[in-house]
Amino acid sequence: MNWKQNVLTVAVFALLALRGYSQPAPSAAQPPKGSTGASAQNRTAMLLSFIHKTNSAEIEMANLAKQNSSSPQVKNFADQIIKDHKAEEDKILKFADSHNIDLVAAGKQLRTAIDKAADDSVSRGVGSEPGEWAWWTEPGTGTGGSGLMKTMANHEQEMDKLSTLKGAEFDREFAKAMVNDHQAIINHLTFARTKVSDPDAVALVDKALPTAKRHLTTAQKLQAAVSKS
């Protein structure tokens, strides 16, 4: 799956949230053990999908850094990003398997749903039509409409921009993107942790957050260093 497909898949979550999408659709997961119903199931699956897509996005951006950067410091950070997000992805795949969450089916389901959502207005105020997916757009996850959709749109814009840059100019933009990305990841995961009821999902977030915070700190130091070049 390429970058824009990753972004498109995750953006559908926000589109569904804005229209309060509540019509039944083919299930992408069986209720996880300990779940209290469809709401808990959907929230756990959505959280898992967000981390899955985030891993793919960060790995792709880091691979681009290895190609376009001229800085050993940037390339070393890119290697760490790839290593850590691949390790995180292994955990996500194991979690999905043990909780009967089919990430491939979820992606197909959402790509089909976008055709229905595309004709609806997305200009309504967030929360005007409450729905199962609206929790991702609550205050604290972002600003400017859907925090999640804005985050993923920023990913896409950054990748398009970074693909045209080389050397020191690339390094400065990459460091800025890493700071913005990981701050957004931390915001989303911190908020999602308060909304999922599956204790296994909470534990998954608790393990993911320290890595995201460490990446943010490293990215901030990198940004300060490359801004002088």
- pLDDT tens across 170-206, in order? 999 999 999 999 998 999 899 888 888 899 999 999 9
Give the pLDDT confidence of 72-99 residue by residue, as tens digits. 999 999 999 999 999 999 999 999 999 9
CA 174 – CA 170 distance, rounded (Å): 6
CA 10 – CA 56 distance, rounded (Å): 12
Encoding tokens for residue 46? Answer: 């959505």
CA 8 – CA 28 distance, rounded (Å): 17
Tokens 């909780």 belong to residue: 99
Residue type (1 letter), 166: K
Q: Which residue has the higher pLDDT, 26 or 196?
A: 196
Q: What is the mean pLDDT of the chain?
A: 74
Cβ–Cβ under 8 Å, residues 48 and 96: yes
Give the pLDDT confidence of 28-38 residue by residue, as tens digits. 444 444 444 44
Q: Which residue has the higher pLDDT, 103 or 68?
A: 68
Cβ–Cβ under 8 Å, residues 40 and 197: yes
Helices (H), 30-140: 38-68, 72-98, 103-117
Tokens 């990841």 belong to residue: 185
- pLDDT for position 166: 95
Cβ–Cβ under 8 Å, residues 56 and 4: no
Give the pLDDT confidence of 51-73 residue by residue, as tens digits. 998 999 999 999 999 999 989 99
pTM over 0.95: no
Q: Which residue has the higher pLDDT, 16 or 147?
A: 147
Encoding tokens for residue 95? Answer: 């979690």
pLDDT higher than 90, residue 150: no
Encoding tokens for residue 140? Answer: 């604290």
Of all residues in the chain, the percent with pLDDT exceeding 90 is: 45
pLDDT higher than 90, residue 143: no
Domain ranges within the chain, ordered by starting residue:
3-226
Which CATH class, in words, describes the domain spanning 3-226?
mainly alpha
pLDDT higher than 50, residue 117: no
Read off the pLDDT of each residue in 147-171 and give the average, rounded to a whole number.
81
Torsion of CA 186, 51, 159, 184, to 10 degrees: -20
Q: Which residue has the higher pLDDT, 42 or 211?
A: 211
pLDDT higher than 80, residue 109: no
